[in-house]
């Protein structure tokens, strides 16, 4: 059965998505908080440290905005699906525990020849006021589902930086990082089951793209926003290659005022997140 293009633009029924202090603490550890320096990220990994209130990593916004489910987009082999792109905008800082109401919709299905790129958007609002909390946009690439003669999709202009990065931050990951991260909700066996990973063409399970995204987001938070979540506005990036648990990653950042471009690479220079963008508020800006 081919992809069902009739679902494009149809908004899902609203669902409530709740999380607890434990969920946001587990997420922080799942994306490596405290791994290189256990004392640096106490605001994100503990709720009872003296003089330190619990805060939430901005990239948790992507998980907070999950939950809305529309109609099936068609039948395909799930082993052929990979996360291709992810962005989010935070309209307010997330609390350690909270509830949002989420709706989502498929925004496009594009023919990339060897596969299909399916884009979607999710909006999380305050269930009491209806005020926006998170807008999340993502894309998945489904190998073997292209060739249907459709639009190839819009081109994203990302000017290649011509100077050396202003910052370069190297972050480790644990060999068991995927086993930690999956406890935040993504139980895709691609990241834990060797047999499933082999079916998808990988010699062993790979790290979740959103885990790599979260590790990258921590580096951006500490570097661009001085570790202050209320200053973090948005982040986007394209997943280009997988990372294996236990490999380190390096985030190169080119800053231009309150915006920045970034790229995440493995130790051998292989790019794992490309075309990265982030925005923060100035120290004296709204919400600071």
List, edge to edge, every strand of the sheet that includes 115-125. 15-19, 98-111, 115-125, 132-143, 81-90, 232-239, 271-280, 259-266, 249-256, 167-171
The 3-state secondary structure of 145-186, one letter per residue: CCCCCCCCCCCCCCCCCCCCCCEEEEECCCCCHHHHHHHHCC
Annotated catalytic, 167?
no
Determine which one of 50, 191, 256, 258 is catalytic.
Answer: 191
Structure tokens at 116: 């299909």
Determine which one of 23, 83, 186, 208 is catalytic. Answer: 186
Do 120 and 136 form a contact (C-beta atoms < 8 A)?
A: no
Reduced to 3 states, what is the DSSP secondary structure of residue 60?
A: helix
Q: Where are the beta strands (DSSP E) in the chain?
A: 15-19, 81-90, 98-111, 115-125, 132-143, 167-171, 232-239, 249-256, 259-266, 271-280
Q: H helices within the chain, ranges in order?
A: 21-30, 42-45, 60-64, 177-181, 194-199, 209-224
Task: Return the closest-CA partner of residue 7 out of 92, 74, 96.
Answer: 74
Known catalytic residue at 186: yes
Q: Facing residues of 106 across strands?
A: 8, 120
Q: Return the DSSP state at 195.
A: H
Q: Looking at the annotation, which residues are catalytic?
A: 186, 191
């Amino acid at each position: 059965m081919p992809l069902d293009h009739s679902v494009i633009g149809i908004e899902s029924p609203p669902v409530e998505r709740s999380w607890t202090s434990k969920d946001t603490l587990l997420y922080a550890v799942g994306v490596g908080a405290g791994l290189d320096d256990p004392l640096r990220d106490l605001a994100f990994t503990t709720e009872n440290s003296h003089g330190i209130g619990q805060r939430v990593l901005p990239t948790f916004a992507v998980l907070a905005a999950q939950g809305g489910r529309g109609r099936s987009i068609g039948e395909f082999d799930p082993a052929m699906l990979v996360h291709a792109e992810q962005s989010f905008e935070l309209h307010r800082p997330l609390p350690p525990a909270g509830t949002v109401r989420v709706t989502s919709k498929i925004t496009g299905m594009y023919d990339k020849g060897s596969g299909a790129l399916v884009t979607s958007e999710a909006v999380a609002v305050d269930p009491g006021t209806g005020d926006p909390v998170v807008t999340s946009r993502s894309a998945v690439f489904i190998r073997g589902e292209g060739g249907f003669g459709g639009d190839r999709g819009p081109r994203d202009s990302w000017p290649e930086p011509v100077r050396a990065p202003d910052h370069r931050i190297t972050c480790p990951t644990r060999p068991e990082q995927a086993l930690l991260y999956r406890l935040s909700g993504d139980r895709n066996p691609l990241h834990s089951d060797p047999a499933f990973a082999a079916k998808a063409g990988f010699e062993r399970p790979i790290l979740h793209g959103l885990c790599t995204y979260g590790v990258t987001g921590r580096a951006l938070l500490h570097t661009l926003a001085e570790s202050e979540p209320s200053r973090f506005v948005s982040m986007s990036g394209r997943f280009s290659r997988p990372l294996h648990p236990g490999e380190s990653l390096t985030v190169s950042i080119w800053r231009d005022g309150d915006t920045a471009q970034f790229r995440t690479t493995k130790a051998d220079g292989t790019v794992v997140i490309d075309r990265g963008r982030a925005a923060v508020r100035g120290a004296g800006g709204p919400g600071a």
